[in-house]
A and B are shown apart, each in its own frame.
Chain A
């Protein structure tokens, strides 16, 4: 076969890197907060013109390719790049020896992750070398010619092997700030929470249930692969266009490795094809920058799906050991639990996931006496970190299974049992933190239970059974024989925003000026729009606060201050809060300007409460004082400012006490499933959700978030799991052929009931939406399968063999 060549210069080009998507909202997309406003980037997305990070192109650009470790744990004896370098069309081959500074690691909290492996590889797929070539296939072939000699080491794969006497240490020389309080160097972080007297309370219990639960490793499976384009600049710096969740966090990790000051690493957000936590950590960012600086040419890196499964952290798989007690009248007495999260080879977000798992392990219930411990391990499994739900997902799976077991043992209705123990405003969390805004847990359960049920035998039609609505679907495995229906409920609690004392601020720059006689607002933040619709909400806020129709959203980049991460359900709250805060200051300055220019013409300028509405300055009585465009004249009013939510504090390392969280959010699900008990196949018939969102700034987007989160929870209930070989710690299913995510045939109707009980501490009373529905969806499906089959089912995802007794 002939060698691939670089694309010809005659080719037409889309989306050059220098022109990232600017979004202007005009006549097509009016909308203030509370209105279902359409996305400003929607037209570009449906016409194929929206520039995602993998779509970027630059004249004379090269393609980067990463060589990854084929084994999970080994010493690197030698690396020989000579043959790869000699390949025609190859411009550079880099290993750890080529890193420009002594900073050879990066990491979100702990800098334990090598940019390119040195000394050892610690997990299957760890980056070892990078290649730049004129064609991606040339780069792939050259990478395959790099000779790496490994001396394999025993693999650490679980708690027993991690803490066994004489266990190999995954990281031999830890200096991070957790190492002083963990019981073993293969434990990243440990967070106990002790409140009341669980042992004494257990003696009051009439019934006690214990369970050991297993949560499989879930992948974010965002569809847009990790990708970006690094362009070297004349001042010796680099401009990186990339899909990420937090530009400034990336910048802080990238610049020291490159040996550049942060102002010489410019970052612009390219179009992001979903994230769900999987883009909090760096992937190809540093590699592309290194290759661009080395070759002096723009370098693009795009993972394929196989590589993507190795290229980002996953959701922590977990073992959860739970003991609850209750009295005959259905009151919880105590909770003892131990949550063991597998963090894999590098820390990523593990410490924060531990804090979440521990502090939310009790669920949305009142339990005064608790003895809780959560740990994350270092192992040689794939690194795990952030994914939607972040530690709260695993706990919810376990405590909701426990609630059903308790209700059954007490002979109570599972919803009524939950409602009897439901937390409410004023409840004290196990951390000692009071819940000081609405917590409508019992009400959400009531609402989700009150929704009409789908009809029995819904697959039947006048023409016989529609197999598409039956377990097994188009495989045509049943026409209803052996099919049993089950119904299950679950409810969960998720924190919103970054916790444990983190300075979780956002920055917004807002400008108001008259253009062609019309007032136009411009909003500039570094918020990563990953699909959630933050850009829509920013425009809605600006329209509401400044009374203008036209809002321009500038591309997110590092030319403005940090907007924090697009994670923890925080962006509408925090960056939305920053946009509102900046708008308020702009409004005050505009009114000042008006008073100076027109104050003498009307007394209301001095005496009345003034508003900006419909492009005019009006009094609270509705009298128009001036056109906004006239007030502004030739002047542009611009404000950039940071905004913070209420501060939080760390959890005590021995007792877990502390006001660690900003806000809580709640969702409840009811699942209806049909199970083919002979083949172990499950059809989820309906997955209803009720969620309190405080205030729905954009109802259409809110429902979309709830349905999307619900579906990711469904996936990990019945199909999604990264399978890691316990003997070799190698990933066995890195493809969409073998790692299954729900299709439209697997996904049921998802009726949603949105409750809006304002949180007075938050902008507009809103409550972060994105994650809560991912929590309760999974245990609701599991509960429904248990209801249908009578099986205990202590692990997720459920596979056919678990239902047929052939596991």
Chain B
């Protein structure tokens, strides 16, 4: 079957999709967006978390056909998403549809890449080790800070309890979310 949907603000279509494929498989293997991760493919680890019409979901549990005509944001689109959100917040209007191309980034190292506040905070706080849980945590943490700009520690833990991390012991992840929230507060 053919599936048409919007990913990170761009219309996409995938052909010859087998009905049993998940959204995660289509993103990773058909659209060249492997940022969403395949740690369990059982809906337990959260590493494949994406926004589906704004709602965080495990993309491994979403059948590809279910996303027809819908809007998906992945970790690859997080910086753009945050920038559009900030612009909309500043103007007090709906999200602008203008897409700014990323300029000047080194494709090998990522240096010069524009990052969302939560991405930058994960780097600065040392919340990234192997990094396999990171994309899902970033999408979940970004959604949390979008809906709850000043979460308590227990709110953060509850919101991120569907995202497993095996490297960090979560302390630096807590630091990162606190840092992103604080920076977001300063920016307003």
Contacts and interface: CB of A to CB of B under 8 A. Distances in A.
A3 interface: yes
Nearest to A26: B111
A28 B111 contact: yes
B20 A4 contact: yes
B80 to A, nearest CB: 11
B169 A750 contact: yes
A36 B126 contact: yes
A21 B31 contact: no
The residue in B31, B78, B131 that gathers the most chain A C-beta atoms within 10 A of its C-beta is B131
A492 interface: no
B101 interface: no
Interface string A596-607: 000000000000
B168 A708 contact: yes
Interface in A730-754: 735-737, 741-745, 747, 749-750
B108 to A, nearest CB: 5
Contact of B15 (A10, A223, A745): A10
A475 interface: no
B148 interface: no
Nearest to A51: B34
Contact-residue size bin, chain B (C-beta under 8 Å from the other chain):
35 or more
B34 A48 contact: yes
A237 interface: no
A38 B123 contact: yes
| Top-3 shortest CB links A-B | A48-B35, A531-B130, A43-B110
Contact of B29 (A7, A27, A531, A741): A7
B73 to A, nearest CB: 12
A700 B126 contact: yes
Interface in A4-30: 4-8, 10-15, 19, 21-24, 26-28
A474 B74 CA distance: 28
Given A468-B158, A736-B164, A737-B44, A11 B14 contact: yes
Interface of A, secondary structure class, is loop
B119 A46 contact: yes
A49 B47 contact: no
A39 B131 CA distance: 11
A274 B166 contact: yes
Contacts of B21: 4, 137
B4 interface: no
A221 interface: yes
B160 interface: yes
B3 to A, nearest CB: 12
B59 interface: no
A711 interface: yes
A62 B119 CA distance: 34
A752 to B, nearest CB: 8
A224 B79 CA distance: 24
A24 B107 CA distance: 11
Contacts of A12: 31-32
A47 B139 CA distance: 11
Given A46-B134, A47-B110, A273-B131, A744 B173 contact: yes
B60 to A, nearest CB: 10
B167 to A, nearest CB: 5
A542 interface: no
Interface in B152-169: 154, 156-158, 160-169
A73 to B, nearest CB: 28
The residue in B40, B119, B132, B133 that gathers the most chain A C-beta atoms within 10 A of its C-beta is B132
A273 B172 CA distance: 18
